[in-house]
Amino acid sequence: MTDTLVAGGTLHPAHAVDGNDYQPPVEGLFVYRLRRGADEHVGVVADVELEGFADGRVRGHEAVDRARVEGLVDHFAAVPRRTELVALLHDGGDEVDRLVAATMDEPPVLDFVGPDGWQQSVWRVPDAAGSLLVEAFGRSVHDIADGHHRVAASLEMWERAGRPAEAALLCIIYPPRGLRLSAFRRRIRGPVDASHLRALLAARWDVTECAPGALPPRSTGVYVGSTWLAARLTADRPSGVAGLDLTLLTHHVFGPLVGGSATERIESIPVTTPPEELTSRCDRDGGALFVLAPPTLQQLREVADLGEVMPPKTTYFDPKPYAGVFVR
C-alpha cells in the first residue's frame, strides 16, 4: 500500500467556444460544481490510485456484470485516455468542506452551461490546500457511488499489467450527501394475479390503497390492477443486503409470483422514466409496478462494512458529471 491515495488530475478545457479560446491542459486537484437552479452538487476531482480500490480503502457496494466488465476492458485497451469520472463518497468531514469552500471563493478556471441546463464550474485547488486535501482524503474511507463497472474493468487491466504503482482512476469525490441517491424501479410484465400479489405483500408489509403520488416516506409503491398501493414493512429488517427492500421483495414477492421466469419478466427501470408511462404499460399487459425508496446512506455503508454487494440495478446516483472536462 502506498502512502498517497489521492493525487492531482488534469483539466482539459474541451468546451472552448472557438479555436481562439484554446488553453493548454492544467494539472492539479480541482473543485467541480454542477448547478441548475437551486440544485447544486460539489466534489473534488483527483486521481485515486487503483491500489486503494484493491486494498479496501475505496469500497464498492454493487455487484457487476462480467460481460460488461470485459467489454469495458476491451474499450479501455483501445482508448487508453479516460475522460469520464468515477464518483466516490468520502467521510473527510469539516476540513474537506472548509478547503473546498475556500477554493470556490476565487473565480473559476472554467465556467459554462451544458446542453441540459447544468452549469459546470471548475476551480483549481491551490497547492497548499491541495496538500491538505490529499492528507484528509488519505485518512478517509471512500465508497464508490457511481462507476462500479469502470472500476472493475480498470482493476482487471491493472492486474494484467502487474499492478503498476502509478496506476490511478480519474474520480470525483463528494461529501456523503453530495449526490441524490435513487432506486431503480421494478416492473413485472403481465399478466399478474393482483389478489396473489396482495396476499404475498400482506404477509410482511402493511398494505393500504393510496392516491397517485401520495406515497408515505420509506414505503414501497405498488401499482397493480389500476390501483396504487403503499406497502410499509412490518417484519423485522435484517442487516446488510438481506434487509434491502429489493432483496425482501425478490425473496418474498417476486420469486413466488413469477417463479423461474423472473429474468424474462422483471424489468429494471430508472426513476427518470415518467410514472404515467409505466402505469400505462401495466394497464396494457396486466403487469405490476414497484416504486422503491432508495436505501439510506447508512444502509449502503453497512453493506460495504459487511463486505457484501448489492444486486446490479439496485441504486444509482445523479446528476452525472460530464465526460471530457477532465482527462487522464
CA atoms within 13 A on the CB side of 49: 19
**Burial zone of 1 (CB within 10 Å; 0-12 exposed, 13-18 middle, 19+ buried):** exposed
State how far the alpha carbon of 192 is from the alpha carbons of 91, 257, 261, 274, 282, in Å.
44, 8, 12, 21, 9
d(CA 229, CA 255): 20
Distance of CA 250 to the CA centre of its chain: 21
- If one compares 295 and 11, the residue with the highest pLDDT of the two is 295
pLDDT tens per residue, range 86-132: 999 998 788 999 999 999 999 999 999 988 899 999 999 999 999 99
Closest Cα to residue 194, out of 278, 283, 292? 283
Distance of CA 147 to the CA centre of its chain: 7
Q: Is the pLDDT of residue 323 over 80?
A: yes
pLDDT tens per residue, range 120-149: 999 999 999 999 999 999 988 899 988 999
Distance of CA 302 to the CA centre of its chain: 16
CATH for 185-291 (1.20.144, 3.30.410, 3.30.1760, 3.40.390): 3.30.1760
Return the number of other C-beta atoms located less than 10 Å from residue 266's C-beta: 18
pLDDT tens per residue, range 238-255: 999 999 999 999 999 999
Can you spell out the DSSP letters for 240-253?
GGGGSHHHHHIIII
Query: Domain limits of the chain?
Result: 6-180, 185-291
3-class DSSP assignment, residue 298: helix
Can you spell out the DSSP letters for 86-97?
EEEEE---HHHH
Q: What confidence category does residue 2 fall into, taking pLDDT thresholds of 50, 70 and 90?
A: very low
* Range among 24-28, 153-157, 316-320 rated most confident: 153-157
- If one compares 180 and 42, the residue with the highest pLDDT of the two is 42
Is there a contact between 60 and 150 (Cβ–Cβ < 8 Å)? Answer: no
Mean pLDDT for all residues in the chain: 88
